[in-house]
Chains A and B, each alone.
Chain A
């Protein structure tokens, strides 16, 4: 079964760092892009960026460039989303999703990781 399994919910304080993960299984992890999507409480979906684990090519939305870092470790079929200094406004559900090469759509989604940033 093709699936993406994300790490568990996190509660952090402003200024702390965080790295959440997304582990793929059931398919060739290095042959598809992995993307990250933010959903703030009660709001819609926002495309953050993607990474191609095969060569670590990474693309960011301008809205998230410099705010987060996307990485991957192909040896363990895992992608990551990290923050160096969290803000309260980073409180959201974060989904990883597999993006096909063509068409470039998200066909498999992780279950989501809730990140809460509060003092």
Chain B
């Protein structure tokens, strides 16, 4: 199975900050990458797919980039509702696999 490694595992940031999360695949996955946001006690929510396509209804402060093995999720101006855990997921090959998650906390 393809291993997905996220970094950092957690970070502290303030409202208004620009935040970048990285995700690395153990082998090339083209652009078959999605990002999900999960708030405590809630189900994950799809943010981005195909590495950079924003899901309908997701604010434009979220963006994704990358292809091959290295990807990033950027939140351009962190809002209070963005404090959550973020997961990447590859769907290039079965089984689809998730990264370990990045928890974005309030500084």
- CB pair A106–B44 under 8 Å, yes or no, is yes
Residues in A lying within 8 Å of B, measured CB to CB: 37, 44-47, 49, 59-63, 95, 97, 103-107, 109-112
Residues in B lying within 8 Å of A, measured CB to CB: 1, 32, 34, 36, 38, 43-46, 49-50, 55, 87, 89, 91, 94-101
Inter-chain CB contacts under 8 Å: number: 57
- CB pair B43–A103 under 8 Å, yes or no, is no
Known contacts being A109-B43, A109-B44, A109-B45, is A44 close to B101, with CB within 8 Å?
yes
Known contacts being A45-B87, A95-B44, A105-B34, is A62 close to B49, with CB within 8 Å?
no
A residues less than 8 Å from B50 (CB atoms): 103
A103's partner among B49, B87, B99, B100 (CB-CB below 8 A) is: B49
- CB pair B44–A107 under 8 Å, yes or no, is no
> In the complex, what distance in Å separates the CA atom of A112 from the CA atom of B43?
7
- Chain A facing B: main interface SS: strand
